[in-house]
Amino acid sequence: ALTREQVRLSKRLSLVLRHRPETAGLTLDPNGWVPVAELLAALKISRADLDAVVAGNDKSRFAVAPGADGADRIRASQGHSRRVNVDLELAAVEPPPVLFHGTPRANLASIRKEGLRPRSRNHVHLSPDVPTALVVGRRRSTDVVVLEVRAGAMAGSGHVFHRSENGVWLTATVPPEFLRER
Ligand code: HQG
């Protein structure tokens, strides 16, 4: 488990790499990457500090890989705000027949009408199983419903799915006819 200090750094990384890079004086490249050396300098942390948080992150939120110049880069694997406008260049993948989405019960009336929308993010995020969907919903409320998403049927009618490097399913929108309340 991460120390309290490491959790703080992890949250700062999420902010900088997903939502507000400018708060650290950084810009993401079009695919969401930042040179690790720049990030370390901007956040005044060591490579060891960074590696511990990347490796210990409960959802593997961050990916480190060498760029074209051979130097390591880092990006968030999913969860970006629409306003940072990154292209993760994820391939389209055939989804399983059913995926799941956990949400506060208070959202249900609106979701029945409009389906699932990405809101402030780039994609609607879907979970591969019910326990994961419950954890996602419980970030926001103690009264959570898990919706079944008929992903196979969606793919059949032309909806495109991606899977992030850390196993989160992403799609543009889910129309209400593909949702089932469990
Ligand atoms: C809801 C975390 C009303 C939606 C998680 C959700 C995930 C609607 C909220 C990732 C709606 C958006 C994303 C509609 C959607 N009417 N409410 N038409 N359509 N909603 O945080 O899926 O820990 O942007 O149900 O694990 O909760 O940050 O999406 O409740 O992977 O790595 O609007 O964030 O990852 O909330 O979570 P979010 P999310 P990290």
Residue 170 lies in a domain: yes
Q: What is the mean pLDDT of residues 48-60?
A: 92
Q: Which residue has the tokens 């009408």?
A: 113
Specify the pLDDT at position 1: 84
* Claim to verify: residue 32 and residue 66 sit in the same structural domain: yes
Q: In testing the pocket of ligand 1, which one of 80, 116, 144, 162 has its CB within 8 Å of the most ligand atoms? A: 116
Residue 154 lies in a domain: yes
Among 174, 171, 155, 160, which Cα is nearest to 107's? 174
Residue 24 lies in a domain: yes
Phi, psi of 84 (to 5 degrees): -85, -15
Residue 88 lies in a domain: no
* Claim to verify: residue 103 and residue 46 sit in the same structural domain: no
Q: Write out pLDDT tens, residues 102-129.
A: 999 999 999 999 999 999 999 999 999 9
Phi, psi of 86 (to 5 degrees): -105, 150
* Claim to verify: residue 72 and residue 9 sit in the same structural domain: yes
Q: Number of structural domains, the chain?
A: 2
Domain enclosing residue 144, as ranges: 99-181
pLDDT score of 70 more than 90 = yes
Specify the pLDDT at position 157: 97
**Reported ipTM:** 0.96
pTM across the whole model? 0.91
